[in-house]
Structure 1
Amino acid sequence: MVGRRDALLPRDKGQSSVGSRIVAAVLVGVLIGCVVAFLSPNGLLTAAPTPLIRHPKMVSSACESPEQVNLLKVDILSAKEKNSELKKQVKDLMEKLRLAEQGKGHAQEQFLVLGDSHKAGPFGTVKALRTNPPVIPDESVNPRLAKILGEVAIYKEIIVALANTNVKEMLQLWFTNIKKVGIPNYLVVALDDNIEEFCKSNDVPVYRRDPDQGVDEVGKSGGNHAVSGLKFRILREFLQLGYSVLLSDVDIVYLQNPFDYLYRDSDVESMSDGHNNMTAYGYNDVFDEPSMGWARYAHTMRIWVYNSGFFYIRPTIPSIELLDRVANRLSNDPKSWDQAVFNEELFFPSHPGYYGLYAAKRTMDMYLFMNSKVLFKTVRKDAKLKKLKPVIVHVNYHPNKFERMKAIVEFYANGKQDALDHFPDGSD
């Protein structure tokens, strides 16, 4: 047994030595692997880098062919045209949005008043309809005028003045100040060839009506009152086309943009011939008749007339009816004064044998839309009122219109404080 164990001893030592070497080799291999992994995290065998692929448009311009350059130019022009079209669409949408917002309150009132019958609300909450809805535009009435208005008007609003050669000097002062203020939406209705050419040469938007026998002769040679009466017939087409018109005589000086000061809540919004709060906005005038004894005092409601030379009129049925009524009366009685007829039709109520006009009215602020009586009799003599800058001044109370217009420009636009001083309150 002893000899047998001795024979086996060398073999056990050899096996132990081999095992130790294997373990050592494994440890060395693991150690080498860790070192390699640390030094080459992506591995020893990595894929070749992907070549950079260039887009054709990234190639240097020096390498582009003329055909490619032309194509790029065409693309740029096309993009500019699309951008211009988008701007126009945005402008149209903004206009529609403004009109929609403006009409939102009116539509709600119309629904409440014209819709199904309903109960009255609590005390102090009931409101009646104030603004009539606009007419549906009809461009077939005058396609040529419709095209002009589409180019000149802003938000379907425009200042309109009628003029013939008799008022050429005042017309020039009129549109010079409109341009100076920066009002783009205005139009002169030329009543003769001379005024049409004069406007074109001064880059003033102008419209010459088609020949109309009778009316055309009045326009060419008529005086102030004749031309003033003619405007009611001409304005009808503007309203039928769906445009609101700020009708303006040419003896008016513009100092601010009037469209910034309109309420647009009535069919007619007009300046007043009144010279203080009572006469401009209405007052209770007591008539005294002593012979009546106990009933000697009678209360009357009075207001000074609207000025037919400066008013804002919306395209509504009552507005068009007003124009028709005034034009019809003036044609049947040429001696009548258009301003008197304008106010009678606007204010006289329905009574036996007569149906009054159901039109909404608003009186403009007399210090913003100022007549020349207010200016020369009151404002120029008051230190505080002299600091107020009106929107327009209408020289309607005085005959020497052109001289006073120039003085008004000197006073308000050029700051010459004594420019108005030498004029009398009234006419000479």
Structure 2
Amino acid sequence: MAHADVGNMFGFGSRVAGLAGATVSGAFDAFATYVNPAGLPHSAGENRLAFSWGILGMNPEFTPIQSIVTTNDYTLDTVRTGDADLDYRATLGQVFGLSYRLEGEHRVTFGVAGFLPLNHLAFVDTGDGFAPEYFLYRARTQRPQVEMGVGVDLGRGLSAGAGLHTGFGMTTHASVLLEPGSSNTSPSSMRFSASIKPKASPTIGVLYAREGGFSSGLVARLPLESRHEMTLNAAANIITPLDFKFSGASALAYDPAAIEWGFSIPMTENSTFFFQGDYQFWRNFEAPVIVLTDITGEGMVISPSSNPSFDYRNILTAKAGSEIHLGGTIVRLGYAYRPGILKDPVTEAGNYIDPSKHVLQAGLGFRFMRFLHLPTDWRLDLHLAYHRFVNAHVTKTPGNEVGDPAEPKIGSPGYDIGGKILGGGVSLSLAL
């Protein structure tokens, strides 16, 4: 699944998304648990309970990759040409946030936020290590995400918070027995078991906010790696008994360590400018492709995995947004630029793809003073999102993956990369 953080990729709630995620220093609501837990004491204003809920939908459309080498003697048995599989799932789900402030001068506030897919509980796909693959977008946002946090007001405009970013690890075991078709033999059979365990990594945030003035926020996130480990035992009674077994492992999800710093400045009485920089530590990223190990076969030698290797880099993402209040209507605009995490274009073995991208966001908010029959302040937010990948061309070097000049590599002769992600969302926020 690679990187699996919906909040980082698309934003929790339409207010955050409309500002391109540049909200570590302000614009807090019940989604502050993820954005910056130090903002939790401000999430409900002078009220004690804040609740946010919304729907998010994003659909990827990548530039078609056609008429390339899809298999060769190294990966299968012969050279074949065709098109790359770029039929990636859309992200469709609900986001939620809840915060509650205890009584007391330090405004201790607890919060929870998360994302739940609507079309499935979770989707896992390791992808292909050799075929063209937008590896951060295959299944990155197709699982539940839950964040927990607590924030406290330290006085003089300073607050601090801590949270947990959760994930899971999975261990599976399978046994297979294959019998030849005959009326005098036992049936084929298979047994499968799986264990899923939660994992978590800490988040720490600080916030300095002057009433009606300048504010600045800083968040540090530790990395979270969710792994899948599997063991398969197989036997086949075909002509002669054949037994073999192997183990496999892959990174289900990887969220890098990150440092996020931002500030917000009131430009006029009714408008605020937000800016944020996120430095993400991708250099130790582990690809989600499965690695087969400990392979044993009775009477035969089985080749182990030999997946391509890639060089990754740390990146700095810049985000900016503006929020303008026009009476009961709020207008938001946001922009972000995210570099790709691959250090160099992949011209040798393998075809991992991660272009840099521009993110354009626009949103509206509407404030109301009554919710149903309750005299409470609430807000309806909407946003539209356009992620544009930077176009580029990949040219594969001569020879196959092990240097045989008589065969082309997977992906040869080359292909164009690029595309877009379109979507938007709506969210409701209220304070009681």
**What's the TM-score once normalised by structure 1's chain length?**
0.19
Bigger helix share: 1
Structure with more of its chain in strand, by fraction: 2
Q: Which has the higher contact order (CA 8 A, sep 6+)?
A: 2
Question: Which one has a bigger Cα radius of gyration?
Answer: 1
TM-score normalised by L of structure 2: 0.19
